[in-house]
Amino acid sequence: MKLWRRAAGALKDQNSLLAISLSRQTWYRNSDLEAAIVKATNHDESYVDYRNAQRVFTWIRTSPVSLKPLIWALTTRMEKTRNWVVAIKGMMLMHGVFCCKTPAVQRIGRLPFDLSNFTDGHSKPSKMWGFNIFIRSYFSFLDQRSALFYVQQNQTEEPMVQELVKVKNLQYLLDMLLKIKPMADNMKEVLITEAMDCVIIEIYDVYSRICKGIARVLMGIYSAGKLEATMALKILHKAKVQGEDLALYFEFCRNFGVFNALEVPRVTQIPEADIKDLERIINGVPEAKSYKNVNDEDDNKAIVVKEDVAIVEEKGPNSRLKTIITDKWEIFEEDMNITYQGNHETSHFIATSSAENPPNYLPIVPVYQEQEIPDFICF
């Protein structure tokens, strides 16, 4: 039965190639490109024609105008087929086109063909349900990936919001990737393993961009508002859940025999301190740049920090008092023996006194020359 299906599939491929050779070449049709697509998406489930797939990718990289003929030819083939082998090879080819990352590819948007309800028409549904689900999941990911990358080019939000939306979309794509896996016992096929290798590589790329995006968000979130902090907190909680899902997915892929899952990337754990910091921002705790004195008696004072100087400033209506704390020191050595240790950046002063001269006054007094006092602004 399998030999008969393979022979019938080879005959269909030959007929398609013959029809291409007899067709007239137009602005949206390229016979050489169409022939390469048919060969790359042939009916043989025992191997993948990487040679012709690379020819297609080379066309796209060197001649962006070839994208329209490629989309037309691949769409025609995908809409006609009811064979799971051709469908998976077609999606692997489309996945490879996305990886070319040319500007024209980024502008494709939603895929022009639809495999969301694909059903293999050459075997009993009881035997093919796993293949059907695999193809539908793979198509859904590719379709959403193409749509999201197109939308991101036209985003006009603030940089922080744009970064948060980008990470959120990547997490959505990662969820869709984790749904692509063989669920039936009869799916240990060479082609399924090859497709899973492509999926694993995409997971590495998406997860790496999620981690980099979260790192950029955390570096700038403390100067952001409540809305951004709320979005970031949801992203961090989602990242923790996805880290656990990734570990289970990679274990499943290793047991299935997916080669690219043998070297599992390190799953980044989100520090609890970052989550608590975001919760404090959301709950309205003041930022770290301005503080109130914790003592009730000092409620009318504020600490202002600028460079290497701190000022405790009275906030009363008639008060003009300031206490200035700085690392510029003037040392009075009367009746004192002072030993200096360390350099200017990490200075330590050790004062010693005798019984005749008890230390009933400060041996080191911080002072500022009048002309050195800068203007400070309270935050």
Q: Which residue has the higher pLDDT, 3 or 210?
A: 210
Q: Is 295 left (phi over 0), alpha (psi -120 to 50) or beta?
A: beta
- In this predicted structure, the answer to whether residue 301 has a pLDDT above a threshold of 80 is no
Which pLDDT belongs to residue 1?
Answer: 53
How far apart are alpha carbons 239 and 230 in whole angstroms?
A: 14
- In this predicted structure, the answer to whether residue 102 has a pLDDT above a threshold of 70 is yes
Q: Which residue has the higher pLDDT, 200 or 6?
A: 200
Q: Which helix (H) or strand (E) holds 197?
A: helix 190-220
Angle 43-46-52 from CA coordinates, rounded to 5°: 65
Q: Which residue has the higher pLDDT, 141 or 13?
A: 141
Average pLDDT over residues 274-278: 73
Q: What is the DSSP string of 151-182?
A: HHTT--S-HHHHHHHHHHHHHHHHHHHTT-S-
Q: Which residue has the higher pLDDT, 342 or 20?
A: 20
Contact 231, 238 (CB under 8 A): no
Which pLDDT belongs to residue 185?
Answer: 87
Look at the alpha carbons of 220, 222, 225, 227 in this order and tell me if their dihedral is positive or negative.
positive
Contact 29, 73 (CB under 8 A): yes
How far apart are alpha carbons 240 and 267 in whole angstroms?
A: 9
Which pLDDT belongs to residue 261?
Answer: 73
Joined together, the tokens standing for residue 253 give 């892929």
How far apart are alpha carbons 10 and 373 in whole angstroms?
A: 87
Contact 96, 53 (CB under 8 A): yes
Lowest mean pLDDT: which of 14-28, 190-204, 338-352? 338-352
Which pLDDT belongs to residue 195?
Answer: 93
Give percent of the chain above pLDDT 70. Answer: 71
Band of pLDDT at residue 145, cut at 50, 70 and 90: very high
- What's the residue count for the chain? 379
Q: Amino acid identity of 352?
A: T
CA 40 from centre of chain: 31
- In this predicted structure, the answer to whether residue 341 has a pLDDT above a threshold of 80 is no
User: Angle between the 159-177 and 190-220 helix axes, to the nearest 10 degrees?
Assistant: 160
Which pLDDT belongs to residue 265?
Answer: 63
The two beta strands, 337-341 and 348-352, are antiparallel
Average pLDDT over residues 58-86: 89
Band of pLDDT at residue 176, cut at 50, 70 and 90: very high
Lowest mean pLDDT: which of 1-10, 55-64, 168-177? 1-10
- In this predicted structure, the answer to whether residue 332 has a pLDDT above a threshold of 60 is no
Q: What domains are there in the chain, each with its CATH number?
A: 1-143 (1.25.40.90), 155-287 (1.20.58.150)
- pLDDT, mean over the chain: 75
How far apart are alpha carbons 310 and 230 in whole angstroms?
A: 32
- Of 117, 212, 104, 130, the closest CA to residue 163 belongs to 212
Average pLDDT over residues 79-84: 91
- In this predicted structure, the answer to whether residue 326 has a pLDDT above a threshold of 70 is no
pTM score, two decimals? 0.70
Q: Which residue has the higher pLDDT, 338 or 210?
A: 210
